[in-house]
């Protein structure tokens, strides 16, 4: 009768074999922890720079048909390229909910309609000849009007990291049932808008509230200053023609001791005029009558003096330190006198209380909920777009290394996967917006390259296992049974 052999070294060899097998297969999923997270499903954000850090991607929008009647639908195409038209490998897109009309995701275009009526890509879309193209539909409302659609996208290089990816944005505007006209904001209500501000659109002759058709206002916060206003002697360009006090009627001028164009008080003997009279000024308000550098409208500098005579000293000029909730302002003009605040526990409120440069990071809402735009909503960290310490807290925050774009859809080995049809893609998860982020984000973590130290451990364990196997093989050629008899050429397992 053959006897089973259960020697301790051989039992250990079997256990070692099982351990290495587990380590190289399922167990490796635990041991080879990712160094960062990647996100492939688009998140709803108007800033991709938080994760990817670069801007300048070239986006364009066009409609077919270009003109649409009220109640009709048009197909809008968005193309994405790198900076200066450079080729992109993959791309992602976010279209916010429009102020008018309805968006619709088209089959096969890789876009998903979100619960808030916006659109994001379901997976990164591969480029064709270096250009990524998304198409979607927009239906105009039943009444005539005008709309401006915004698009925010990302041109990715498909390397599985945020390096080299470029964000960008564009706009598309159209009128339906009327002629399109641009209008300018008029904040002071004087009937003239400032051409430097973003215009609004509407049907011709029907400006939106707070907008006007006329421009050229050079001081949109002062209703007395606008084109056609009467020029008076006040050191201002009242009629916005680029000249100051030209042709203004003469006024009383009072002694100006320091000759800076402003007097302190109406004392002494006045003269009539409007500038050009040495030692006299037509405007008052000088808070330092012997210092020609200090007067109304002077440039404020950080020096402990009220340079512009507005009653405030060094306003907004003191050095600042710290980030997030800890940001503080120095009590003096010296940065060495600035002390940042103390961090506190992070909460879901759109702030960076722990002062790590990341807004609302971590598990702040408990099981089954995730922090989205300062509110706890249904979801999980895997759906939120930005896991802890994987995004940016906004302006001035450092972008942590390793934030991912999801890789090249045509190369799953690089951290991506093939593009999918939006009609067959799973519905967009609820609450998948991070504190900041990018258009190439994912509903869950994706494995990064394993850490080098872990690979070394695996290799050493495997080498030790092979040496043990060879030794067992040599000893296994001659095995002894429990009764002491020899058997030759019997492999013992």
From the first residue on, what is the mean pLDDT of each consecutive set of 10 residues in the chain (493 residues)?
39 43 39 35 57 80 94 96 88 93 96 93 92 97 94 86 84 94 95 90 93 95 95 92 93 94 94 90 94 95 96 94 94 95 93 90 87 79 40 34 34 32 36 35 37 51 58 46 37 31
Compute the chain's Rg from CA coordinates: 35
pTM of the model: 0.52
**Whether the Cβ atoms of residue 284 and residue 266 lie closer than 8 Å to each other:** yes
Region of 275 on the Ramachandran plot (φ > 0 left; ψ -120 to 50 alpha; else beta):
left
**Whether the Cβ atoms of residue 400 and residue 389 lie closer than 8 Å to each other:** yes
Rounded CA-CA distance 463/279 in Å is 94
What's the pLDDT score for residue 157?
85
Pairing of strands 283-284, 262-263: parallel
Q: Which two tokens stand for residue 168?
A: 């960008």
Give the residue among 65, 82, 231, 249 at the shortest CA–CA distance from 140.
Answer: 65
């Amino acid at each position: 009768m053959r006897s089973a052999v259960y020697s301790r070294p051989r039992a250990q060899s079997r256990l070692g074999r099982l351990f290495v097998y587990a380590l190289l297969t399922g167990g490796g999923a635990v041991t080879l922890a990712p160094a960062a997270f990647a996100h492939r499903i688009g998140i709803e954000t108007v800033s991709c720079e938080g994760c990817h850090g670069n801007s300048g991607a070239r986006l364009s929008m066009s409609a077919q048909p270009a003109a649409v009647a009220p109640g009709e639908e048009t197909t809008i195409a968005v193309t994405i390229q790198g900076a200066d038209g450079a080729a992109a490998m993959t791309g992602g897109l976010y279209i916010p909910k429009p102020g008018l009309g309805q968006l619709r995701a088209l089959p096969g275009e890789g876009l998903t309609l979100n619960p808030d009526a916006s659109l994001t890509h379901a997976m990164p879309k591969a480029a064709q000849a270096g250009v990524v193209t998304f198409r979607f539909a927009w239906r105009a409302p039943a009444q005539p009007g005008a709309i401006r659609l915004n698009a925010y996208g990302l041109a990715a290089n498909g390397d599985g990291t945020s390096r080299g990816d470029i964000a960008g944005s564009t706009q598309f505007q159209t009128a339906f049932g009327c002629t399109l006209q641009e209008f300018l904001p008029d904040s002071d209500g004087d009937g003239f808008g400032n051409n430097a501000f973003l215009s609004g659109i509407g049907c011709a002759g029907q400006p939106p509230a707070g907008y006007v058709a006329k421009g050229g206002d050079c001081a949109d916060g002062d209703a007395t200053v606008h084109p056609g206003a009467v020029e008076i002697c006040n050191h201002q360009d009242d009629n916005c023609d680029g000249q100051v006090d030209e042709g203004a009627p003469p006024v009383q001028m009072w002694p100006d001791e320091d000759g800076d164009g402003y007097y302190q008080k109406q004392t002494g003997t006045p003269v009539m005029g409007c500038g050009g009279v040495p030692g006299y000024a037509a405007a008052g308000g000088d808070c330092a009558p012997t210092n020609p550098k200090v007067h109304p409208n002077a440039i404020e500098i950080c020096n402990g003096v009220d340079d512009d005579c507005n009653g405030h000293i060094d306003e907004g000029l003191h050095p600042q330190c710290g980030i997030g909730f800890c940001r503080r302002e120095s009590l003096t003009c010296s940065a060495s006198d600035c002390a940042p605040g103390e961090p506190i526990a992070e909460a879901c409120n759109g702030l960076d209380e722990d002062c790590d440069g990341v807004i609302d990071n971590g598990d702040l809402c408990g099981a089954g909920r995730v922090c989205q735009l300062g509110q706890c909503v249904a979801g999980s960290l895997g759906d939120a777009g930005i896991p802890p310490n994987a995004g940016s807290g906004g302006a001035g925050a450092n972008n942590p290394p390793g934030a991912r774009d999801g890789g090249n859809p045509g190369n799953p080995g690089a951290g991506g996967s093939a593009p999918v049809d939006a009609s067959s893609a799973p519905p967009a998860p609820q609450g998948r917006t991070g504190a900041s982020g990018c258009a190439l984000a994912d509903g869950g973590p994706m494995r990064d390259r394993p850490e080098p130290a872990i690979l070394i451990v695996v290799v050493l364990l495997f080498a030790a296992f092979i040496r043990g196997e060879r030794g067992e093989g040599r000893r296994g050629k001659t095995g002894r049974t429990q009764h002491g008899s020899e058997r030759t050429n019997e492999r013992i397992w």
